[in-house]
Amino acid sequence: MKKLINVAIVGASGYTGLELIKILLQHPHFKITYLATTEGNTTSSKLHPSLFGIFDLPVQKIDFKQIAKSSEIVFLALPHKTAMQTVQELMKFEHLKIIDLSADYRLSLNRYKNSYGEHLDSENLKQAIYGLPELFREKIKNAKLIANPGCYPTASILGVSPFLKFLNENEEIIIDAKSGVSGAGKKCESNTHYVTINENMFAYNPLKHRHEPEIEEKLEIFGNQFHKVHFVPHLVPVTRGMLSSIYIKINNLLTDPLEYLREFYKNEPFIRIRENPPTMKDVAGTNFCDIFARQSGNLLYIETAIDNLMRGASSQAVVNANLISNFDESIAIPKISIVP
């Protein structure tokens, strides 16, 4: 019988923290031994009433020595900047492996500065591995610090990357994406207030969203040439889910884009190629990314669907934890949609 690996969740109060708890409680090889928030002084079932009678672990204020003493893998579900300060301290402990769900280690130094401001941990930034398994699986296996991708970049990169070799250099990519409200986190803002979002839909920060350079950077690394991304996110009145509609001009007509996608992703357990455009419900509560493609002349339309809390955050983080632990990456990862 394999020894249980102790794991900590720092930032356990949010939606992604709850999803991490739910997945890890089903994992045969991971044991949650430490929960923390910036304030502490509560329990998991008080933070998340759905856990009442099922899982009731004390939630402590962040203590780096206690984290290191009680765990081997740490999931960070903290806001940007706060995560960076926490990583700096945790990286001092050699035995710890860290999976950061913030954007603090996803970008190169210059792109980070342009999108988020000053980076205070450039040394650890150099070590971070981008945690998108389909593109960087072998590097993830040996990582100490994983930058877990967010929902918009995950949905966009997985849709575009198979077709990069059909794009002329500097060809532009247009991405029109829709996200459920949970992607904005628990803190209520004017845009996520019920009165604002109910029976409503709107774009926010079009062509200036900070995930745009992240998508550009990872596509450039994977495809070895730069493509300008034009990214427009929308908030829609659903709790969870994400649809990305992607438009690119290809330089060589494909006989069958769906067959090409099936071949490209043939060994990937969490990619499904669909005959018809996928919906948010198809993937809700799962780690799947469903992809559809259709061409008209040299215009290629791609649609991807993911669960923003799962594939865009928590379940992808556990896949990465499986990889760094030399487990089958599918262990405990949800595959059945939670909605009809």
Going across the sheet that includes 30-37, the strands are: 42-43, 58-61, 30-37, 5-10, 73-76, 97-100, 145-147, 129-130
Backbone phi, then psi, for 137, in 5-degree steps?
-55, -50
* Residues belonging to the chain: 340
| Measured distance CA(23)–CA(30) in Å, rounded | 10
Active site residue 151: yes
Catalytic residue among 151, 243, 248, 309: 151
How many CB atoms are located within 10 Å of the residue 141 CB? 16
How many CB atoms are located within 10 Å of the residue 92 CB? 9
Q: Looking at residue 129, what DSSP letter applies?
A: E
Which positions ≥6 away from 62 have C-beta within 8 Å? 10, 36, 37, 38, 40, 86
**Location of structure tokens 């996928």:** 278
| Measured distance CA(47)–CA(59) in Å, rounded | 9
Which tokens is 20 given?
């991490």
Are 176 and 207 in contact by the 8 Å Cβ rule? The answer is no
Are 290 and 305 in contact by the 8 Å Cβ rule? The answer is yes
How many CB atoms are located within 10 Å of the residue 102 CB? 22
Active site residues: 151
